[in-house]
Structure 1
């Protein structure tokens, strides 16, 4: 059996891999609703945060492709709410800018920035995400040579093409690349089917992989554990 090619690059998922996203989205929705109360009061009075969320989920069920462009989903939800409330649609752009600014106010896990600095000395780094985080706004773009987002690329994980495009942009083969993410289907299974090695970033201690029959190349709870696994691979 031929040994695995040496690892030359690591691609990361973003939300819930490099930072927790649920509390950020929750706060962003509170912030957005307060902005609507000031600038589009008819919408804020007619629709609570919970109602807007439920309407958005209903729209997503009707148009599941929007799962890979959540900013567009949110905009379409606002467009419908503004129309129904009879509010001035000129404020929708401002509402989206306000929400996205709050959505990008993320706080990386404690292990992330030190881990990325160590990894940059050894390997090329990139990101592949189905979310709408803006690494320039977050302040982390300089860590990565390549960053692909499904909403801009046109295809989302777990489709192999987005993984392969990131590898090509870095100038590495899939077999020389490790993908790190928290989602077993989109990140681990998707990356492996594209020919990459895949590390499950399992910060919660989940055992879901057993039930799904997905076997990650490694399971890590922090970037420190990822570094230790990589050291072992690089020594082989």
Structure 2
């Protein structure tokens, strides 16, 4: 590898790459429904957690632009549920605040924080996400020089624009950046089409890349494997 192609920056997806998100969302929706039962009982009585989720997914299917901002999607779905149940819309803000507090109660995989500290000694770190995790609330914002969210940027992965904007913000050419994520289409294919190298963080041992015909630059099951691969790229 030519020395000019050595990685200078590494960008990360967040949900399901740095922490598991499904149990967090499930718990957040459970606590939200309990909050609604106290503060907006008409909504809690009219809709179960599953029904609220189904209504939200139906709204997303009808209005795909909400993919850019899942927080706005959740708020719009709640507003519709409140209106249907005849509940006071004044409680929407409290409901969203309660949900986001629970949604950001993530627990990084055990290898993530040591891994970020190790990588920060060699590379500039950034994040690109389609989700609504708040790195300040989570307490890890200081690890990243740049963090781009689709909801603020206006375009979502796999659009090349969000990857290119992150590289520009970090001051590196795409060929000098590596993107790490768990989603083959959004993260791996999206980053590669933008000119970055892409690592598939595959903690489950899936062979989905074969079925989809996507070839990551590396497949890692842990931060230890990611660091080993990056050390090789840096030494070549």
Give TM-score scaled by structure 1 length.
0.98
In the aligned structure 1, how far is the partner of 2:184 from the partner of 2:224?
Answer: 20
State the match for 2:81 in structure 1: 81
Matches within 5 A, 1:62-101: 62-101=62-101
Residue 226 in 1 paired to residue 226 in 2?
Answer: yes
Q: How many residues align?
A: 236
In the alignment, which residue of structure 2 is the partner of 1:8? 8
1:203 counterpart SS class = coil
Three-state SS of the structure 1 residue aligned to 2:7 is coil
Aligned residue in 2 for 1:149: 149
- After superposition, where does 1:1-236 map in structure 2 within 5 Å? 5-236=5-236
Shift of 1:234: 0.7
TM superposition shift of 1:4 = 6.3
For residue 190 of structure 1, report the CA deviation from its aligned partner: 0.4
The CA distance in 2 between the partners of 1:37 and 1:58, in whole Å, is: 23
Structure 2 unaligned segments of length 5 or more: list them.
none
Q: Within 1, Cα distance between the matches of 2:36 and 2:82?
A: 10
- Please give the alpha-carbon distance, in whole angstroms, between the structure 1 residues aligned to 2:76 and 2:153: 20
The 2-side partners of 1:6 and 1:205 are apart by 27
Closer, same or farther: CA 124–2 of 1 in aligned 2, 3 Å: closer
Deviating 4+ runs (over 2 angstroms)? 1-4
Cα distance, 1:69 vs structure 2: 1.1
Task: Identify the range of structure 1 (171-180 vs 58-67) with the bigger mean alpha-carbon deviation.
Answer: 58-67
Deviation at 1:68, TM superposition (A): 2.6
Provide the rounded CA distance (Å) in 2 between the counterparts of 1:199 and 1:167: 16
User: How far off is 1:51 after superposition?
Assistant: 0.5
Aligned alpha-carbon RMSD (Å): 1.0
**Structure 1: stretches of 5+ with no match in the other structure:** none
**Alpha-carbon offset, residue 115 of structure 1:** 0.3
Q: 1:210 and 1:192 mapped to 2: Cα distance?
A: 16
Give distance in 1, aligned partners of 2:201 and 2:100.
25
